[in-house]
Amino acid sequence: MNMREVCRHALLVAVVMILASATLYAGRPDKSGTAAASELLIPVGGRYTALAGASTATAFGVDAISWNPAGLSRSNKSAEALFSHMSYIADIGVEYFAVGAAFEGFGSIGVSLKTLSFGDMEITTETAPDGTGQTFSPTYVTIGLTYSRLLTDRISVGATANVVTERIDRVTASAFAFDFGVQYSSFANLGGLSIGLAVRNIGSSMQFSGSGLLIDATGTDLRRPASYYEVQAQTDELPSVIELGVAYTYNVDDQNRLSLEGVFQNNNLSEDEYKLGLEYGFNNLFFIRGGYTFSEEYIADAYPYGLTAGAGFKYSFTGIEVGVDYAYRDVQFFDANHTIALRLAF
């Protein structure tokens, strides 16, 4: 049995095992809202956000870093850069930057940076519930390093190591989070059929610490120096997910192409989700996209996300490819999310 056959059988076994486990371990809706670093679940980039994130099987290039790291090595470019901005809920901005490069005989390396901008917030205390007159601005940063490699012309693998840090006034927390992924194109020798597996946000728990958790314990009627005690913050898990994706791309003719994609997402701290995406491409230059996310438990009014839509185009000149993508995501109870992304490829 050659190396290609070994990889193929290993992947088939992994997919069967994950599919079996997905039926045994359902999501945990009873633990919704208890995850640490929930910013890890905020989508980035325009193309795959418009597809509702149903991109585990087909995400490629620098866009794939945050969805399935196995897709980074599937780019036909030597180097790529992605800049993305999302107008998130409650006037929060999500900024994302990623670069990737291919090295012959070694694989592809990517670096990513995600930050959240909250603006200034007023400081309140127990003794000044209306505010002290001072302000602070939380800092949420995720930095990632990705490696991806093509094992064969059909199978690619990848992994990302993320460092997650959060600072809120005088308290901080940090964690390590890891993503792993596999993609298999032309599955079962069917051209256009792809499957993918991604395991994301596996890592250490998070716990806040710092001087902001110190409470004055000095008695008013005692003659002793000032003393403090520290409040012990809760330790929380990261929002880990397992995603199984399948996609089929149909070339209508030389200029028109349709791609239908689906993902089952198993969540460790919330209800499981299902994602569907459809992309139409004209002449590999202009794209229209749509998607939908739903959950068995939270359908209709109780589930915050649902319809997504977007468009994009790309143009090449003097060896540089420029792509612009826009994504819209409907949100219950809040204003809709809007994402604009710029991609440069060389």
All structural domains of the chain, each given as residue ranges with its CATH number in brackets, are 3-123+132-204+236-345 (2.40.160.40)
Mean pLDDT, rounded, of the chain: 88
Q: Lowest mean pLDDT of 73-77, 213-217, 235-239, name the range.
A: 213-217
The structure tokens listed for 158 are 């990848």
Q: CB count, 10 Å around CB of 134?
A: 13
pLDDT band at 219 (very low <50, low <70, confident <90, very high): low
Using CA atoms, how far apart are residues 269 and 236, in angstroms rounded to an integer? 10
Closest CA to 331 of 307, 296, 297: 307
For residues 224 and 16, the model is more confident at 224
**pLDDT over 90 at 128, yes or no:** no
Asked whether the beta carbons of 69 and 88 are under 8 A apart, the reply is no
Using CA atoms, how far apart are residues 147 and 106, in angstroms rounded to an integer? 10
Asked whether the beta carbons of 74 and 158 are under 8 A apart, the reply is no
Query: What is the pTM assigned to this prediction?
Result: 0.87
pLDDT digits (tens, 9 = 90+) for 306-323: 899 999 999 998 889 999
Burial of 104 (0-12, 13-18, 19+ CB in 10 A): exposed
For residues 12 and 327, the model is more confident at 327
**Percentage of the chain with pLDDT > 90?**
67
Burial of 248 (0-12, 13-18, 19+ CB in 10 A): middle
Q: Lowest mean pLDDT of 87-91, 107-111, 142-146, 215-219, name the range.
A: 215-219
| Three-state secondary structure call for residue 222 | coil
pLDDT at 1: 47
Q: Which residues pair with 162 in a beta bridge?
A: 144, 177
pLDDT at 12: 53
pLDDT band at 108 (very low <50, low <70, confident <90, very high): very high
Q: What is the average per-residue pLDDT within 130-139?
A: 89
**pLDDT over 60 at 161, yes or no:** yes
pLDDT digits (tens, 9 = 90+) for 2-22: 555 545 544 554 554 444 444
pLDDT at 17: 44
For residues 165 and 191, the model is more confident at 165
Closest CA to 165 of 203, 110, 121: 203
